[in-house]
Structure 1
Amino acid sequence: MKFHHRFVLRISFISALGGYLFGFDFAVISGALPFLQQQFNLDPTWEGFATGCLALGAILGCFAAGKVADQYGRRPGMLLAAEIFAISSLAMAFAPGRLFFVVARFVAGTGVGMASMLSPMYIAEIAPAKYRGRMVAINQLTVVLGILITNLVNYWLRNEGADAWRWMFGLGAVPSCLFWLGAYFLPESPRWLVKNGLEEIARSVLSRIGAGSYAEDTIRQIKGGLSGGSQKINYNVLLKRAFLPVLLIGIGLAAFQQFCGINTVFNYAPKIFESIGASTDDQLLQTVFIGGVNLVFTIAAMLFVDKLGRKPLMLFGAGGLAILYVLIVQLLGAGSAEVSWFLLAAIGVYAMSLAPVTWVLISEIFPTSIRDAGISIAVIGLWVAYFILVFTFPVLFDHLGDKTFYIYAVVCLIGFLFILFKVKETKGKTLEELDQNLIRH
């Protein structure tokens, strides 16, 4: 069957700009923390909270996104996320005090949480099965682009004085406006349209995606997936015996992506490199290297996710990180500058596996009738895990030092076994084909 690749790629990339917002706010705190510590006198607890409060807002954003996406559509949800993020970016930039800044970052998290759920959901629903893995992985590509560009901007602003951090946060309004403009011209998800009785509009959208009988075949599959399903988002249905196993798998994958520990390197790279005597300039320069490696290996993941499959990449990521963490502990303990190479290797392994593939799986595993609620809860689990990770790291590192990474090595070993025994392969199947017997109980 012939597909209109340029159209699919264009709308996938535009919707994935929501991932850029995620990457921006994810990375900006790393460069800004040295300035915030001086500006607001942050101790390890406040340092962790200032970083992690983004996740608390994201949890609220996921709940809101589920409701908005179900009632009004995926596109209005993405527009709202962009508006929230633009306003909160400026609020953080002009924050007069610590509490105001934390509240503004919490609000920013609401927009990030909405985008982190809606962007991969939209792409998964609009992309043909054959290309869905790499299209959803575009969302992770924009995340890492956001991280890399933000790290470069942070490094460029490092010598702009005590208020450099205000520029770092304020510039977040730029990608927010670009995301809003792009999302304004996106078509609505055909699956949402069919679910809400707008079949003719759905047929028009699908005909722009694939030629021949693609539109009619897809509509028939969507209707089959919706038969007997709830027409409105209902979190209680997830607790039914038929859906609970896939819900637990989704939450487990999302939580593992965070508890594997690699995001401590993204958020606290300056702190880690400071422990081996690196200067402030070198600390920020390392964040640029991290962003570059992250980008290169994310592109590699996009090339392999639909060829090698989801499960092999996830196993590679979990096992590879467990081994690398043990080596990192040894090098940090010896104060060796060589640790930077192993941290970059860990970033590469993560970027090629757990980072993009988790989002692909979360967007695929839930049946059409409960996808809104299922993805919402899974992504909430991701953000809860992220908050716990980044809130506890400064305290753990302050008490345990380099041995903190032993904890993450154990988590990765557990995650390896979880993926090996509980997750089934999903590549090459339509979302409707995945509705039944997807996950090994």
Structure 2
Amino acid sequence: MNKILIWSVTAALAGFLFGFDTVVISGADKQLQLLWHSSDAFHGSVVMAMALWGTVIGAIFGGIPTNKIGRKKTLFWIGILYFVSAIGAALANDPYIFAFFRFIGGLGVGASTIAAPAYVSEIAPADKRGRLVALYQFNIVLGILVAFISNYFLKDIGENAWRWMVGVQAIPSFIYILFIITIPESPRWLLSKNRIDEARKVLFTIDPLANIEDFRDEASENGAVKHENIFMKKYRFPLMLAFLIAFFNQFSGINAFLYYAPRIFEEAGLGQNTALLSSIGIGITNLVFTLVGVSLIDKLGRKVLMYIGSVGYIISLGLVSAAFYFDWGGLSVPVFLFLFIASHAIGQGAVIWVFISEIFPNHIRASGQAFGSSVHWVLAAIIPSLIPVLFSEIGPSVVFLIFTLMMVLQLLFVMFLMPETKGISLETLSENLTNKNTNKDDFKKTASARVL
């Protein structure tokens, strides 16, 4: 188990770079707009959002290298993309070159949401899979916190502070590249490529008592259905689940808030320095409650955490909307947004990448994750890019009210559609979530009887 933990943590470090890359731009937000005299529309949709459009492309096509060259090699090249992006963006002298290198980093983010959860889910025991895959999310929020702290300490080093803010990511990227070389390939991927001896060695290291024939039988079945794809009728239920959980994740407003946290706090009446300090508080809250979510995901289950998160979303976002509408001022907005972040961390944040990595069969897992990640990142690119315009046109109170209403719909999704996947083997989930067992009551009965 120690080796599995080490390998899982190593793969999940892709999440640290994901979180750092996503949020580090928030510290440079206003500096870059002033430096290049950008309009709100250009700044939001090009300078700030180009990394997210890279993430969309990475998520759409990330399943291809994850399937073709393997989980490990894909993770290695993701590290290269992060490194190149950090150096290039730091040296950029105009918004277009800056946006190009941010796009390169976005490719790494998108691909990492497929390769890292797939890798960890395929080496993890069923009863510990939730916690181990959730390490990816933990690393995301750790990267977010470190980015906020880094931005705060680098903000006063001169007019080129933004270069240091985005360029410092090259250091953890290089360390990650070195670490990823030390992990083995996923045994399930090796079996899917008929590399039996290599798979046997990795499986023996994971669990000396594991019966490779069980995995070989499943891999053989996969080999017989190479023509299948995620859009076939029998996979529409897991496809719908992946779409909805990704859709609601972004319509909570989480990425819009993380990208513009200092700006939102300033809109609420806080000074620039206080706004940046409040951003660090957001990072700490995110980290603490992600730890809570990770510790509970295999005990309470994915669905219970989503209930908790959904209710917390509705309360916190409703209060943020009211605070802007009634101009409550002071620390009310930061306090309500801390509650919002806590709700996200314990619910969607802890669950989304675990859940999507579980609900598709092995032979189409990377493709299924690519679909779920693509939905997530298309919305993550569109919504934050609209925030500057929406804030100026309809105001923050209306924006946060829309997010609140969307979270009411998420609560209904959790109540009536979302199955529990806690403690069930990937192979059993594959069987139960295909067309023949999409009835929710049938799923519960079959799954509970076959928990490993």
TM-score by length of 1: 0.94
Q: Deviations over 1:330-375 (max 9, x none)?
A: 1123142222111101101101110120111001000112112111
Matched, 1:101 2:128: no
Deviation at 1:266, TM superposition (A): 1.2
Q: Structure 1 pair 143/233, CA: closer, same or farther in 2 (3 Å)?
A: farther
Matched, 1:229 2:225: no
Aligned ranges 1:122-133 → 2 under 5 Å: 122-133=119-130
Deviation at 1:231, TM superposition (A): 7.3
Aligned ranges 1:299-314 → 2 under 5 Å: 299-314=291-306
Matched, 1:387 2:381: yes
One-letter code of the match for 1:408? F
Matched, 1:143 2:140: yes
Q: In the aligned structure 2, how far is the partner of 1:382 from the partner of 1:374?
A: 12
One-letter code of the match for 2:315? I
| Equivalent position to 1:20, from 13, 16, 21 | 16
Q: In the aligned structure 2, how far is the partner of 1:226 from the partner of 1:40?
A: 54
| Equivalent position to 2:406, from 388, 406, 411 | 411
Matched, 1:78 2:75: yes
Kept in 2, the 8 Å contact 1:325–1:405? The answer is yes
| Equivalent position to 1:197, from 194, 197, 208 | 194
Deviation at 1:426, TM superposition (A): 0.3
| Equivalent position to 1:43, from 30, 34, 39 | 39
Kept in 2, the 8 Å contact 1:66–1:233? The answer is no
Q: Deviations over 1:78-110 (max 9, x none)?
A: 111111110111110011101111111111101
Q: In the aligned structure 2, how far is the partner of 1:113 from the partner of 1:423?
A: 24
Kept in 2, the 8 Å contact 1:225–1:435? The answer is no
Kept in 2, the 8 Å contact 1:70–1:233? The answer is no
Q: In the aligned structure 1, how far is the partner of 2:137 from the partner of 2:427?
A: 24
User: How many percent of aligned residue pairs carry the same amino acid?
Assistant: 36
Which residue number in structure 1 is paired with residue 362 of structure 2?
A: 368
One-letter code of the match for 1:220? E
Counterpart secondary structure, 2:329: coil
Q: Deviations over 1:152-184 (max 9, x none)?
A: 010001111111000011111111111111111
Matched, 1:317 2:313: no
Q: Structure 1 pair 232/189, CA: closer, same or farther in 2 (3 Å)?
A: farther
Q: In the aligned structure 1, how far is the partner of 2:204 from the partner of 2:141?
A: 32
Aligned ranges 1:277-292 → 2 under 5 Å: 277-292=269-284
Which residue number in structure 1 is paired with residue 445 of structure 2?
A: none
Q: In the aligned structure 1, how far is the partner of 2:196 from the partner of 2:119?
A: 17
Deviation at 1:228, TM superposition (A): 3.6
Which residue number in structure 1 is paired with residue 422 of structure 2?
A: 427
RMSD over aligned Cα atoms = 1.6
Kept in 1, the 8 Å contact 2:262–2:275? The answer is yes
| Equivalent position to 2:329, from 310, 333, 336 | 336
Counterpart secondary structure, 1:229: helix
Q: In the aligned structure 1, how far is the partner of 2:201 from the partner of 2:35?
A: 54
Structure 2 alignment gaps of length 5 or more: 441-452
Kept in 2, the 8 Å contact 1:54–1:107? The answer is yes
Kept in 2, the 8 Å contact 1:23–1:146? The answer is yes
Which residue number in structure 2 is paired with residue 32 of structure 1?
A: 28
Q: Structure 1 pair 137/114, CA: closer, same or farther in 2 (3 Å)?
A: same
Structure 1 alignment gaps of length 5 or more: none
Counterpart secondary structure, 1:16: helix
Aligned residues: 432
Kept in 1, the 8 Å contact 2:316–2:340? The answer is yes
Deviation at 1:113, TM superposition (A): 1.1
Kept in 1, the 8 Å contact 2:25–2:48? The answer is yes
One-letter code of the match for 1:368? N
Deviation at 1:25, TM superposition (A): 1.1
Kept in 1, the 8 Å contact 2:192–2:222? The answer is no
Counterpart secondary structure, 2:234: coil
Which residue number in structure 1 is paired with residue 394 of structure 2?
A: 400
Q: Deviations over 1:271-313 (max 9, x none)?
A: 1111122111111111100000000000001110000000111
